[in-house]
Structure formats: C-alpha cells, structure tokens
Amino acid sequence: MTITGFVLLTLALVFALTKQTKLFVVSVLTGSVFLIVAAVQTIFFNESVIWLMTLPQPWGTAEMGYTPLSAFFAIIIGFGSSMSVLYGSGYLKKYSREGLSSHLFFLGLLIISMNLTVYLRHSMLFFLAWEMMSLSSFMCILFEHKLSETRKSAIYYFSFMQVSAFFLLIGFGLAYKQTGSFDFGAFQDLGYLPALFIGIGFAIKTGFFPFYSWLPIAYPAAPSHVSGLMSGVMMKTGIYGILLLMAMTNISLTAMYVIAGISLLTAFLGVIHALAESDVKKVIAYSSIENAGIIGLGIAFAHIGLLTEHTVMAGLSMVGLLLHSLNHSLFKPLLFFLSGNISQQTHTREIDQLGGLQKRMPSTGTLFLIGSLAISGMPMFNGFISELFIYLGMLDGLNRNNFNLNIGSILCAAGLTFVGALALFAFVRLYGLVFLGEPRSDKARNAVEVSKSMITTPGILAGLCFLLGLPGSIYLNFFNHILQYQGFWFEITPALTKAFNLVSLVFLIIGILILIMLILRRRIVKEVHPTWGCGYEKPSSRMQYTGNSMIHPLAYFIKPFIKKQDVMNYDKALFPESFTFEAKVHDFIHETLITPVKKAVLAFLNLFAGIQKGNTQVYISYGLVFLLIVLTWAILVVK
C-alpha cells in the first residue's frame, strides 16, 4: 500500500511538469488514499510493513514504516493534502498558466516530503525529508514571486526553517554521539543537550513562543490552498516530532511545567494578536499560534500525568491533543480556503474594506461561520470536544495530594478558559466585520459568489467540523491503540463513556432542532426587507464598527502585549477635505528579538562588503594570497 502510494505521488510530479493538472490532482488523491489505508491498517490491525535499507557506513541501516503514532499523522497529512489539491485546482484557475507547472511540482514535492517525515525512522533520512519539506514549501509561497512582499515573506520563512534545521542537525549529531546510531529506535534516554536542540528545532516548525513570528508573515503571503496546507497539515510534523522526542527522553516534571507555561503563553499571545489584526489571513495565522499553544498544553499535561502516575489525566490529555491536532487540520484549512474566496472576489484582505459579504457570498459566509464556531470551541463543533478532553485532563489534577500539580492545573485551566473567550471574541469580530453590515468599499459591494469548485472542498471540511463534534466516547476507543503504543494507558470507565454519550446525544438533538428551525424559517419567511436602520433614513458604512473600534473595550488590557502604530494623514487646513487613519500591529517578538539579530548579522556582513570590488584582477589577487597562506601553513605547520 505505502509503496503504491508513494509511486502515485511521485507520478504526480511528472504530470505537474507536463502541465496535466487534472491528472496531477487524480494522482495525488489516489496516492493519498493508499497511504491513508495503510495508516489505518497500522492503527487498528497492527499491519505495518517495515522496510530496511542498508546505507554506507557510518549511516547504518535505515528503517521505514508506520508506527501507530506516525500512522495517525499520516492520515492527517493524506486527507489534508487531498483537500488542498482539490481546492487549489479551482483556486488557481484565475491565475495565468505562467509558473503553474513549477508550482504544482513543488506542491507535490511538499506532499511527498511531509509523508516521508512520518514514514522514515532514520534521523539523517528524516532530516533530508525535513529540508525537502522546507524548500518545497518555500517555493510554493513564491507562487506570486513578482510581488516584493511575497519574496520578503518567503525569505523570512526560509530563514526560520534553516534555523530549525540547524538545531535538528546538531541535536541528531549529539544523539548519534550518545547512542552510536542514527536510528530513532536507538534514541532512548537522550541527554539534556540533544533533547533541547531537537526540541527547539521542532518548536520552530510548530510555532511555539518565542519562535512563532514567521507564521503571520509566511501564511498570508502563500496562495490560500498552500496556506491551508502549511497551517493545517505541515505544522503537525512539528507536533509529531515533539511527541517522538518525548518518547526518546526521560523528561523531568519541572521541564513539563515549563512547557505548559510556554504553551499557555503561546496561546495567549496568538489570540491577542488575532484580536488586533486587520488582515483576514493574518488573523487566521495568529489563531494557528493559539492552537499550537492548546496542543502544547495537552502534551504537557499528558506527560505530567504520566510522571505523577495519574493515568486518567495522562489519557484524557493525550486524547485531547491528538484530537485537536486532527480538528485543527480541518477547520484551519477551511478558514484559509474561504479567505482565498474573499480575496479573489474582493481583491483585498483588509477587514475595514469589507462588510456585507453574507448577502453577496452566502455560501462562503455560511461556511466561514461554521469554521469560526469550530475554531472558537463552541459546542456541537469539533473544536469543543477536543478542548473538552484537555480541560478534563487538567481538572483531573485537582484534589490530588500534590500542591504543584493543583496550582499548575488551576492556572492552566483558567488561562485556557480566558484564551478561549478571547478566541471567540476574535472570530465574532472577524465574521461580523467581514460578512455582516454594509459594504465598506466598492470592492466588497461588487463581490459575487465563487464557483462551485471553490465551495465543494470547504463544504466537505465544514461538514466534518460538525460531524466530528458529536461523538465523544468513540474517540476514547479510537485513540486507545495510539495511547498504548506511546506508553499511556487509562481505564475507560462506564461512567466516563456514559457522560460523553450524554453530551453527544444533547448536541445531536440541538443540531436537529436548529436544522428544523432553519427549514421552517425558509418556508415561512416570504419577504426580505433591509435591516432596520435605527431611524436613520440613509445608513452608511461609516456608522459601523471598524476593526479597531470593536476591540476598544479590550484595548487597555491587550495594549501592553502588542505593539500598535496609529498612522493618520490629513490636510492641515482649518476644514480638512480628507482624513485617513490606519492602525498597524507589529509583532513584538519580531521587533524586539528578530530585528536586532538581523541588524547585527547585516552589520557584521557589511564589514566584508569592501572585499567586493567588481575587478577581476583584485579577485585573482585574493586567490593568490589564499594560496600563499595555504603554502606557508603547509611548510611551517604541517610536519
């Protein structure tokens, strides 16, 4: 199954180079199906074919094959890649065919490399796949390479990915020094230093604090089908790597509390920047940082429970983090795909230039509402059920004879609750300003609905966001195989099963009632009138909330955590004829950490700028000086 899947994905590269788009899509879909089937067989039936590859010394023997954990992430990669390619086939129709074959080639290469990262068990081969994933995603971002902003964003992203690769390479080298093997199976009881380097490498890819500043720069610059793939799927390779590392290391309880604190800070900073941003795709990108923090909390409390022998805490948190990884791979591409619909039809992503799109793009608006409810963790949607597992895992830490665990559980549960409330407000703001009210510009006023090909894929994802929010106890049994493989085990008690079944039943009844109400409303309501204007004869979009004014009640609270710049341009006359106001949000991590480092590196490199003279004779003299130094060294030093 797996070999067939990889062959079909490789064949898709040939179709991409020959500009056979439909065959490319079919080949990716069928290849992904084969890999998903192989992954499902591994999880439920323990049927995994292990391939051995003998490499030249000192690389040893490389194992390839799925484990229950990697198989789960292979399902996420396979399904997410299929959805991205399906949506991309419609999204790319409005672009010229110039550069299309190379874009599809690198998109296919990205899909192959992501699958290889969860299939390979040899650290050096894994590293090669990791670098191929970084390079191919970099090239995918550069689809609109004629835009200078796109080029800058892509280079910024690739720089971070190389830093990630640097840490991974050092970490794998130190692990080889300790174990004498490059095989993941031999990486047991890794020391503090290799674990730290490897962990930082994976944390950069995932977007944990303080390494997240590349996400809101890279995701908006990429085409929307690539943004959804990178955020919903590629980010999970970092989560997979962290879970892999946890199994290789005897990590201390103190370290897990630190990881919990970092994760909570990551979630908080992500959501407050999502509240303040005025770019639709940047809001969604910052929300990815928030969700990375939520998954990080699940990782932390799963291992805290394991170390303190609280099996229920460990099991519930582990189910929660895996389920939230799956759910995030559904609602995040959904929102990015729909942002692509908005930008294609309005030619802008600025919230303050949109509005009133629900009437003009009803399908996009309805699906965006479903995605917003899911990502906000509202009941009846998949985001709620996965966060509920993590909450329950934290709350299991209460009433224990462990002061640190009690305090940690209370602080993290309260913090996650607050983050959830801010996330709901952020997406109420986003949906309300983009889809409700009156259009704020001609771009929004002239918008029309996209073609069915760009609605079908988001429709599938929205349906899954609702369906996966209903079952509860099913997840306990589904993830049990993975939990046992990772060393987690907890008893699925009848009381726990009954509680989740009751929640599922209530959600199902509420969902059916809402559906009946919508059907009756459509049949009963015969006339549609304009929204009541509160007595105003000529309502204007200038009377509506802007993105900045809507968060004003929270401004006093979030101001210390974000760097905001207000830009005003107006005539100096007594009665100015024009006035413009723009609020720009700057990421303080980028401003306080990345920018000074960048300036220091450029200043250091500028010390050598004088070497470049543009004169061939000077360059020849450099070579002669170098040869003279080598000759002197050989005579005086080498014996």
* pLDDT > 70? residue 583: no
Least confidently predicted of 78-87, 115-124, 467-476, 591-600: 467-476
- The confidence score (pLDDT) of residue 252 equals 87
Q: What is the mean pLDDT of residues 133-155?
A: 92
**Is 570 in contact with 580 (CB distance < 8 Å)?**
yes
* CA dist., res. 138 & res. 143, Å (int): 9
**Is 63 in contact with 185 (CB distance < 8 Å)?**
yes
Q: List, in sequence order, every residue forming a beta bridge with 269; answer none if it has no partner.
A: none
Strands 51-54 and 61-64: antiparallel
For every residue of 382-399, DSSP letters joined together read HHHHHHHHHHHHHHTTTT
120 phi, psi to nearest 5 deg: -90, 140
pLDDT band at 529 (very low <50, low <70, confident <90, very high): low
398 phi, psi to nearest 5 deg: -80, 165
Q: What is the mean pLDDT of residues 266-291?
A: 92
- The confidence score (pLDDT) of residue 356 equals 87
Domains of the chain, by residue range, sit at 2-508
Q: What is the mean pLDDT of residues 422-436?
A: 92
Q: Does the model's pTM come out above 0.75?
A: yes
Q: Which residue has the tokens 């929640």?
A: 503
* CA dist., res. 278 & res. 411, Å (int): 31
* pLDDT > 90? residue 625: no
Pair of tokens at residue 268: 């908080």
If we measure between CA atoms, which residue out of 91, 100, 27 comes closest to residue 452? Answer: 91
* CA dist., res. 286 & res. 218, Å (int): 11
- The confidence score (pLDDT) of residue 481 equals 77
Q: How far is CA 308 from CA 126, 188, 314, 424, in A?
A: 32, 20, 9, 33
If we measure between CA atoms, which residue out of 184, 43, 476, 484 comes closest to residue 306? Answer: 484
Contacts of 48 (CB under 8 A, 6+ apart): 38, 41, 42, 65, 66, 67, 71
Pair of tokens at residue 443: 């771009």
| pLDDT per position as a tens digit, 205-264 | 999 988 888 999 999 999 999 999 999 999 999 999 999 999 888 888 999 999 999 999
* CA dist., res. 273 & res. 547, Å (int): 12
Which H, E and C letters describe 134-163, residue by residue? HHHHHHHHHHHCCCHHHHHHHHHHHHHHHH
Contacts of 186 (CB under 8 A, 6+ apart): 179, 180
Q: Which residue has the tokens 């509240």?
A: 275
CA angle 183–188–189, rounded 5-degree value: 145
Q: List, in sequence order, every residue forming a beta bridge with 350; answer none if it has no partner.
A: 279
The alpha carbon of 390 is separated from its chain's Cα centroid by a whole number of angstroms, namely 19
Q: What is the mean pLDDT of residues 526-553?
A: 69
**Is 270 in contact with 212 (CB distance < 8 Å)?**
yes
User: In terms of C-beta density within 10 A (0-12 exposed, 13-18 middle, 19 or more buried), how is residue 182 classed?
Assistant: buried
**Is 585 in contact with 277 (CB distance < 8 Å)?**
yes
Pair of tokens at residue 269: 């900073």
Q: What is the mean pLDDT of residues 387-409?
A: 84
- 584: Cα within 13 Å, side-chain hemisphere: 5
* CA dist., res. 373 & res. 335, Å (int): 11
Least confidently predicted of 52-61, 563-572, 591-600: 563-572
Higher pLDDT, 467 or 491: 467
Least confidently predicted of 100-109, 432-441, 628-637: 628-637
- The confidence score (pLDDT) of residue 478 equals 75
User: In terms of C-beta density within 10 A (0-12 exposed, 13-18 middle, 19 or more buried), how is residue 252 classed?
Assistant: exposed
User: In terms of C-beta density within 10 A (0-12 exposed, 13-18 middle, 19 or more buried), how is residue 634 classed?
Assistant: exposed
* pLDDT > 90? residue 437: no
* CA dist., res. 120 & res. 59, Å (int): 14
**Is 199 in contact with 193 (CB distance < 8 Å)?**
no
- The confidence score (pLDDT) of residue 19 equals 84
If we measure between CA atoms, which residue out of 456, 341, 333 comes closest to residue 91? Answer: 341
Contacts of 201 (CB under 8 A, 6+ apart): 164, 165, 166, 167, 168, 171, 241
- The confidence score (pLDDT) of residue 613 equals 67
DSSP-derived 3-state class of residue 52: strand
**Is 367 in contact with 338 (CB distance < 8 Å)?**
yes
* pLDDT > 60? residue 639: no
